[in-house]
Structure 1
């Protein structure tokens, strides 16, 4: 990576965040140096247990138990232990429907819905599929599962029927909970109709439908209305006492060539990791009004809202729909209207706001906002500076973090209010985690040297297995570097110990013997005023091994042509060096994206090299982009 990025001045915690920091600098240093097992025992004392843990860990990666013998319940930690009169949820839909829920109301509804599930035959260990958007019913249904010890599986509301079916077939749920529909960017997305198609020929005992968009939606014979079921249930199910390693949920990750992997997370183990993650990455306090913009179907939301967020007792803003609908000013209206103090979002969302320009910000009072944390993909420094300087008016701290579905936390981050960051980096490994960047032979890389990111010790929120296929878990995550978890991401550590994750290892290219990651090339492109977004992929080359090819989405008012493409190639050379000059710059009006907004670089690489896309497409939001990009690659104007 270009030295100028690694040598930027550190961005230090702002004074308001430092004044409310969860620990002193000295205590932070102690925790960072502490043996992970000792640290996680200390962290466990901040949670509520029936049988507190006395031992941190037994076993090794691939076969370990955290807090063996300790018992408790996730829903008690997230709901019951907070003052019942405190506001838990401030729900808003893009068509301005609003609801407010206190912790008392949410606890009561959760306990009654858990009782309703019991009456339908759901018991500890049974699976419940959750096919919902960002709605209060998602909180109720998921915490009802935690209360019973049922294993829930969240299915993203934007998935196709075939993707939903794959997940149902694998998890074999006894109950599916869904809404009739959701709304997104002014359109109605018919979830129940998609579910009906997905369930053809499948044997699911019960379907529970929350009618939120069309209250008159007609249920099929034998189906249950969510609110009718809830209203007629007066019994409150007591929380089941669960051992710390018993499974809490299954969450699926998309594979590139095979069926999605159902990762299994322990209930209380995940709670411990998520609680600690929110403490350090957000320093979330009971007086915060906090907005996590992620979708309930991605693990970011359970970590930073459903479990980790609620465990800290803050007030959560929950938004259903496109955050830029009906105008790009909507996020600023939400922040101003609710007095939001902290936001957790994704680099994609910030780039979207930046692309819309500064005009939507005008006239909005965001002075209460102190922190924007984010996760999801590499963050370019240009967007970091725009967020801190323009959106945050120099008042906010921008905390870029790094984690994976498998790790159950964004385990690399600033310790908010305590440690600084460098624009574009991911902070440092938080207490309780031991990371190494290694070369292909497993030896540790030097500071500044790009390599493979690994974790060397178990931690409570690490996924324990793949549902029904532990051998796949071992082969996928533990075989590349025996004794370590392999993240399959390329990274480096700078001179201050800050982590830089540059993308997937597949995106690291070897150009004439030089290993180059895509992050710094994309960052150089985004500094050009004509560029809205950029993605760089490797193309095989007989002479150099591989060469970079850049895909660029321009701003709407720029003049396209060969002169612009040459300028963009020069921008990469200036930012990274002559070795990184792209073989081609392909300007395209759109690129394939996931439903969470990430550019699908794998598909760009397939189109460039193979002329077609392969592998799992269940997370692709805009299939029309494939033909557009294919035409641009071949020199067309489509």
Structure 2
């Protein structure tokens, strides 16, 4: 990297960020059998041996001829091996008398309606839906889009596709007409499974209406399957069939089709402002194996667990941890349709109590939201059944991390991964490994990485650099749909032979990994390069700040200057916060990091998965309005709040 990255001020601020002491697990958090399991997993001589062990935990119809061939950019795993994802996630539990009656899904809608589905019931519905899709002309290799929120039917639709070898793609239920149309066209989808509407913040959102508007630009779509979520029995038009009718058409069910491990299983479109949607493709066997391992190590199924994946089905985390990985481990998955502050701020706690949730996965934004709701609310809902909170999707500031640990009395497992990696691959293993607030722990078995400078040379501990993956693993995306050259150039062009995450990171002296954010979120202030996360860590350390986002604003003298947006705890004096935060940043990081402005806002633009959309904050400052795609945004009113904050 350039000399700017090694400047004393930069290194001092980085050292401040990663100085957190290692926290050994409390005795009551240790799970002895998992300690032994992890020791055995790390004892394999090579990653291929480990992945072969993972493969043997699944059910195969035909054995493989080789564990791995090729390398990162052209890898194939378990070639010749035949298996089926739905068979492993659903059928094998439904066929076992000891697990057939176990709850697979515990679902709750935002209005308060609920449904519980056992593994036996799930297997029956998946088989009937799969047979119905076949009867409607959907075949192996066809692409089926799933445009709905967190419903039981999202699980059944995904596994019906898995069962017959159709390739599914999940469309975020917050997408508008343009976003839906562009993805249907890019995927060449032949069918869509859609809910007539969903409930979000106490009002219905008409998905079918949006799909009908988009479908005119997607001539490949021949069939729409409509789930009657609202009970309004919306009249259907040509090319549409009700979900109930498709189930009836497949009343006899259909067996799971054996698929070669490297065949495409699904594609997921990455977010961003690019004109062409980029659909990354994950494989049948690779995604199953990797997500089983992900749920096994990160959440660790224990007797009577209820695992709430508090994420949207359109965020890959939900298929990883719930639909595929969680069910592959035989877990009971809690699933919630709506907003966690509707109708009141108690909703999160009420769901945990009602369903006796033992483990939760969410974005750090959820924990920050709970912190904002206050200690009194948390104290009124002690959640004695809770054993784990695990978070991923964006950096987790140490202050919120510490608050959550003290408030809930459970380990907080912070994890890191990407859409393209198909799973999280760095985190402290639940029940085994020490935790460090703000870091993402160490690489789990089967994964290896390096942190390098811009020329590709390794950097020492304490120095930030480019985060690369250095060996293959099964869940890594295999290509970009219809554009393999784009896959190669995007992920392997800059550092040949190694996968570029396009994130910056640093390794601390204890060997723990800190992901500092996207490389393009690094700003250059008067020749000093600094990650916006480093500034955010200082800002959120103020006791009155619940959440912060820092972006760079063009400046004619310094090139770029940092601007902070902050959300405050109730009863906090805004002017006092402005003064103290500005002073903290300058004192701890140096004058070069001085905040050019601090905007106090009651809300920030977020995706439904909880990620703050910093590019929209930047757009509003620079252009006065968004200039890119806003289809993934959770609440448009947040932009109005930010605009008002900027205007003062």
TM-score normalised per structure 2:
0.93
Deviations 1:19-54 (A, max 9, x none): 3542428715734x7422221112111111112335
After superposition, residues 40-439 of structure 1 pair within 5 angstroms as 40-82=51-93, 83-203=99-219, 204-285=221-302, 287-390=304-407, 392=408, 394=409, 396-439=410-453
After superposition, residues 456-471 of structure 1 pair within 5 angstroms as 456-471=470-485
For residues 26 and 349 of structure 1, the distance between their equivalents in structure 2, rounded to whole angstroms, comes to 29
For residues 290 and 501 of structure 2, the distance between their equivalents in structure 1, rounded to whole angstroms, comes to 18
Deviations 1:474-503 (A, max 9, x none): 121111211111111111111111111111
For residues 513 and 34 of structure 1, the distance between their equivalents in structure 2, rounded to whole angstroms, comes to 45
For residues 402 and 572 of structure 2, the distance between their equivalents in structure 1, rounded to whole angstroms, comes to 23
Hey, what does 1:8 align to over in structure 2? 20
Pairing partner for 1:573 from 580, 586, 609: 586
Distance 1:23 1:48, change over 3 A: farther
Hey, what does 2:7 align to over in structure 1? none
Q: How many angstroms does 1:200 deviate by?
A: 2.1
For residues 14 and 623 of structure 2, the distance between their equivalents in structure 1, rounded to whole angstroms, comes to 31
Hey, what does 2:30 align to over in structure 1? 18
Shifted more, 423-432 versus 192-201: the winner is: 192-201
Deviations 1:279-325 (A, max 9, x none): 11111235311110111111000000000000111111111111221
Hey, what does 2:634 align to over in structure 1? 621
**Equivalent position SS for 1:291:** strand
Count of matched residue positions in the alignment of Structure 1 and Structure 2 = 630
Unaligned 5+ residue runs, structure 1? Answer: none
Pairing partner for 2:597 from 555, 574, 584: 584
Shifted more, 287-296 versus 195-204: the winner is: 195-204
Report if aligned partners of 2:186, 2:277 keep a CA contact under 8 Å in 1: no
Pairing partner for 1:525 from 530, 539, 548: 539
Report if aligned partners of 2:191, 2:222 keep a CA contact under 8 Å in 1: yes
Cα-Cα RMSD: 2.0
Deviations 1:83-128 (A, max 9, x none): 2111111111121101111000000110111111111111110111
Distance 1:25 1:51, change over 3 A: closer
Q: How many angstroms does 1:544 deviate by?
A: 4.2
For residues 317 and 33 of structure 2, the distance between their equivalents in structure 1, rounded to whole angstroms, comes to 23
Hey, what does 1:506 align to over in structure 2? 520
For residues 622 and 395 of structure 2, the distance between their equivalents in structure 1, rounded to whole angstroms, comes to 24
Shifted more, 327-336 versus 296-305: the winner is: 327-336
For residues 62 and 590 of structure 2, the distance between their equivalents in structure 1, rounded to whole angstroms, comes to 58
**Equivalent position SS for 2:439:** coil
Deviations 1:374-419 (A, max 9, x none): 11100000110111111x1x2x110000011010001111111111
Deviations 1:134-168 (A, max 9, x none): 11111111101001000001101111111011111
Distance 1:94 1:104, change over 3 A: same
Hey, what does 1:39 align to over in structure 2? 50
For residues 518 and 443 of structure 2, the distance between their equivalents in structure 1, rounded to whole angstroms, comes to 19
Deviations 1:413-466 (A, max 9, x none): 111111112100011111111111111111111111111111112211111111
**Equivalent position SS for 2:632:** coil
**Equivalent position SS for 2:416:** coil
For residues 43 and 575 of structure 1, the distance between their equivalents in structure 2, rounded to whole angstroms, comes to 46
For residues 574 and 317 of structure 1, the distance between their equivalents in structure 2, rounded to whole angstroms, comes to 45
For residues 109 and 265 of structure 2, the distance between their equivalents in structure 1, rounded to whole angstroms, comes to 29
Q: How many angstroms does 1:214 deviate by?
A: 2.8
For residues 59 and 84 of structure 1, the distance between their equivalents in structure 2, rounded to whole angstroms, comes to 39
For residues 528 and 239 of structure 2, the distance between their equivalents in structure 1, rounded to whole angstroms, comes to 63
Q: How many angstroms does 1:365 deviate by?
A: 4.2
For residues 200 and 190 of structure 1, the distance between their equivalents in structure 2, rounded to whole angstroms, comes to 17
Distance 1:588 1:544, change over 3 A: same
After superposition, residues 440-451 of structure 1 pair within 5 angstroms as 440-451=454-465
Hey, what does 2:613 align to over in structure 1? 600
Shifted more, 64-73 versus 535-544: the winner is: 535-544
Q: How many angstroms does 1:222 deviate by?
A: 4.0
For residues 578 and 416 of structure 1, the distance between their equivalents in structure 2, rounded to whole angstroms, comes to 40
Deviations 1:214-265 (A, max 9, x none): 3422222342110232135321211111000000001111233322211111
For residues 254 and 601 of structure 2, the distance between their equivalents in structure 1, rounded to whole angstroms, comes to 55
Report if aligned partners of 1:21, 1:283 keep a CA contact under 8 Å in 2: no
Distance 1:631 1:134, change over 3 A: closer
Report if aligned partners of 2:174, 2:631 keep a CA contact under 8 Å in 1: no
For residues 363 and 227 of structure 1, the distance between their equivalents in structure 2, rounded to whole angstroms, comes to 42
Distance 1:612 1:217, change over 3 A: closer
For residues 103 and 335 of structure 1, the distance between their equivalents in structure 2, rounded to whole angstroms, comes to 22
